């Protein structure tokens, strides 16, 4: 059997090679590298794919969060409620803006933000302490969070809502695509993400015309049409034409790739149900399957056994954000029980569109062999 890779960008490249090479050569000849027509074309394609009125490309998923929070006016005094079980970028941008990340526990089954824990945490604050505050829900491992409920909570408490969809581009709820599920959605095109480029990249999606205009201005140093007129404080978070060309090439095969991810996940589900805790998918919710993450108390021993059998795995994430040295000061020290338990039990198995079914069955067999 061929080597099992955790993700396989080389195989993917062999599928899009001529298309992407041609586009990149055209950009090299054009001399237009930052923003410009190819970036605009990618933004149109992304807006069309998600059905969001605006898709604004930026330099990374982290910057997508940063420019969104800045455009919403989040800063000193703002609280931003986020799940503790997430990647560091979700928390970091809040702290960088001088706002306060407020860590919330996650749901035992979906691993996304727990609506009960969220309401409880918000209720710790007086209304007057929550002016210009926000919730960032994260679609962990590709599974969209429970936006119907989270949106109601946000409206009820007068909070902005951002979806950190770095891992879930391509997912959906009741046929509404990620990008359209929250007033503001951010994603990442980091090479290992479901839709990725060959470097850093990201995008913000919204239907709000004024917010979109602000975000476009902020990603280019706070300018409008005149490049030497700075009407607000911004940053450099621009996307570049070469990465936009890669996104356009990969969008052509994206739905097919999502189908292959789904197929792999279904085989894992069928083979591993009852052996380890398999991912929970709620009705009408489609995951983009960025990762297939199982849970077992014997995680570390299982990981060692799989490594010995040439099966690569990853631990997303070994530590909750509320326990990280840099962020402890924002937390009251109360345990976030589910997040802490997950950190000791989760293990992500290889999943990418170019895995053969034989490989998926082999990984499943090895997991079963270890669990016994």
Ligand X SMILES: Cc1ncc(COP(=O)(O)O)c(C=O)c1O
Residues that bind ligand X (CB under 6 A): 60-62, 86-87, 89-90, 138, 164, 166-167, 188, 190, 200, 202
Closest CB to ligand X among 183 and 201? 201
Angle among Cα 164, 169, 170 to the nearest 5 degrees reads 145
- CA nearest 45: which of 218, 231, 258, 247? 247
Closest CB to ligand X among 50 and 62? 62
User: Strand 134-138 relative to strand 79-83: parallel, antiparallel, unpaired?
Assistant: parallel
Closest CB to ligand X among 113 and 154? 113
3, 225, 270, 281 from 360: Cα distances, Å: 12, 52, 11, 19
Q: CA–CA separation, 301 vs 67, rounded Å?
A: 41
Phi, psi dihedral angles at 6 (to 5 degrees) = -65, -45
292 Cβ contact partners less than 8 Å away, ≥ 6 residues apart: 141, 264, 265, 268, 279, 348, 349, 350, 351
Q: How far is the CB of 59 from ligand X (least distance, A)?
A: 8
Closest CB to ligand X among 112 and 364? 112
Q: How far is the CB of 276 from ligand X (least distance, A)?
A: 23
Closest CB to ligand X among 167 and 172? 167
Closest CB to ligand X among 309 and 324? 324
Q: How far is the CB of 106 from ligand X (least distance, A)?
A: 12
DSSP state, residue 233: -
Helices (H), the chain: 9-30, 37-50, 61-71, 88-96, 115-122, 147-157, 209-219, 241-272, 299-308, 337-345, 357-371
Angle among Cα 222, 227, 233 to the nearest 5 degrees reads 15
Closest CB to ligand X among 9 and 213? 9
What is the residue whose two structure tokens read 């709000």?
208
Q: How far is the CB of 166 from ligand X (least distance, A)?
A: 3
Q: How far is the CB of 351 from ligand X (least distance, A)?
A: 15
Q: CA–CA separation, 57 vs 61, rounded Å?
A: 10
Question: Among all residues, whose Cβ is closest to ligand X?
Answer: 61
Using only the alpha carbons of the chain, give its radius of gyration. 21
Q: How far is the CB of 202 from ligand X (least distance, A)?
A: 5
What is the residue whose two structure tokens read 């530590």?
319
Q: How far is the CB of 138 from ligand X (least distance, A)?
A: 5
Extract the tokens encoding 367.
């997991």
Sign of the Cα torsion 274, 280, 285, 288 reads: negative
Closest CB to ligand X among 164 and 345? 164
Q: How far is the CB of 182 from ligand X (least distance, A)?
A: 14
Q: How far is the CB of 128 from ligand X (least distance, A)?
A: 30
Closest CB to ligand X among 179 and 202? 202
């Amino acid at each position: 059997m061929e080597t099992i890779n955790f993700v396989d960008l080389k195989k993917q490249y062999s599928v899009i090679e001529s298309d992407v090479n041609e586009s990149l050569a055209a950009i090299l000849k054009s001399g237009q590298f930052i923003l410009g027509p190819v970036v605009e074309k990618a933004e149109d394609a992304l807006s069309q794919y998600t059905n969001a009125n605006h898709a604004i490309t930026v330099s990374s998923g982290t910057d997508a969060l940063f420019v969104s929070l800045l455009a919403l006016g989040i800063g000193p005094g703002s609280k931003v409620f986020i799940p503790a079980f997430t990647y560091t970028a979700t928390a970091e941008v809040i702290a960088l803006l001088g706002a306060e990340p407020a860590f919330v526990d996650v749901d035992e089954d979906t691993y996304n933000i727990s609506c009960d824990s969220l309401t409880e945490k918000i209720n710790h604050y007086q209304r007057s302490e929550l002016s210009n505050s926000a919730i960032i829900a994260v679609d962990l491992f590709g599974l969209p969070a429970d936006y119907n409920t989270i949106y109601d909570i946000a409206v009820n408490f007068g909070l902005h809502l951002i979806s950190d969809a770095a891992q879930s581009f391509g997912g959906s709820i009741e046929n509404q695509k990620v990008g359209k599920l929250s007033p503001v959605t951010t994603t990442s095109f980091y090479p290992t993400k479901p839709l990725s480029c060959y470097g850093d990249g990201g995008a913000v999606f919204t239907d709000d015309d004024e917010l979109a205009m602000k975000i476009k201005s902020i990603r280019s140093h706070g300018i409008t049409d005149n490049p030497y007129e700075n009407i607000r404080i911004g940053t450099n978070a621009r996307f570049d034409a070469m990465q936009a060309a890669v996104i356009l090439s990969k969008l052509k095969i994206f739905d097919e790739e999502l189908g292959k991810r789904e197929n792999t996940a279904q085989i894992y589900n069928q083979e591993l149900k009852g052996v380890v805790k398999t991912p929970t998918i709620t009705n009408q919710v489609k995951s983009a399957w960025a990762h297939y993450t199982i849970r077992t108390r014997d995680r570390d021993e299982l990981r060692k056994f799989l490594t010995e059998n040439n099966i690569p795995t990853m631990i997303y994430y070994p530590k909750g954000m509320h326990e990280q040295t840099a962020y402890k000061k924002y937390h009251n020290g109360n345990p976030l029980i589910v997040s802490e338990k997950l950190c000791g039990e989760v293990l992500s198995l290889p999943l990418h569109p170019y895995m053969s079914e034989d490989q998926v069955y082999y990984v499943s067999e090895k997991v079963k062999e270890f669990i016994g």
